[in-house]
Structure 1
């Protein structure tokens, strides 16, 4: 149980969609490219063949990686968890920087889903670790490279995107 990776419903759906794309579209396309390159003769000096084999290696590696992640995933549907105002995995949290009054909103997601530009931070990130378990109105101290930053937790929402 402890080696399971938390992931949101949307994160799991995205991985399953990528896996389906790789297996049903990319894998056959690469197999076809290898077959066509073989028809060109001498494989030692056949750049198309070597490029296609390299693509095949990347594709198969990614398929294995996704299948492994999905085998060890624990999907958490935050819409089924009663909102108590506490910061939990999957929650969308609006923070106010206590020094600058700047407001930021982050969604706490699994490591594979993290995308800071999209406002999604990993549950293992320093900000998320400082926020988990706290409530609206609490102040969280986040250890950042430039020094500690205090954030007031303005709002906690349990939404699924």
Structure 2
């Protein structure tokens, strides 16, 4: 069965940041790692060549990150919620449903909002960057 790819919600800034990282990995890092692999091959026996192993491991990491970023960008939905009002209900993880604005108390946003009062502001690190929330109202 084909795996359903998860939508990635990004701010315009987050999208730009990921696109820049992808471009850097493809144009700069790939060449650097390929150069390290080529240079380490000159040291002789690849079986006992730690520089070669390190370079191959780094190459695998870079290629994996490129694939991850390409998938995220392929499934990106860009939102600009600057100044938007959003109502969240903080619930347990079993009941969480972001489509219904029910967020888990274990999520980064849920954890940041728990215990806050009207007027409080919180900044939350999310994959797209930092999001700032100001609590306008708290209902129990």
TM-score (norm 2): 0.64
1:104 to 97, 116, 121: 121
1:34 to 23, 34, 37: 37
Q: How big is the shift at 1:103?
A: 3.2
- Structure number with the higher strand fraction is 1
Give the Cα separation in 1 of the matches to 2:7 and 2:17.
18
- Say which SS state the counterpart of residue 24 (structure 1) adopts: helix
Q: Where in structure 2 are there 5+ consecutive unaligned residues? A: 88-112
Report the RMSD for the aligned CA atoms in angstroms: 3.4
1:47 maps to 2:50: yes
Count of paired positions: 111
Does the CA contact (< 8 Å) of 2:9 and 2:128 recur in 1?
Answer: no
Q: Where in structure 1 are there 5+ consecutive unaligned residues? A: 89-94, 122-127, 142-161
Quick one: structure 1 residues 4 and 42, their matched pair in 2 at CA, closer, same or farther if it must change by over 3 Å?
same
Q: How big is the shift at 1:97?
A: 3.2
- Structure number with the higher helix fraction is 2
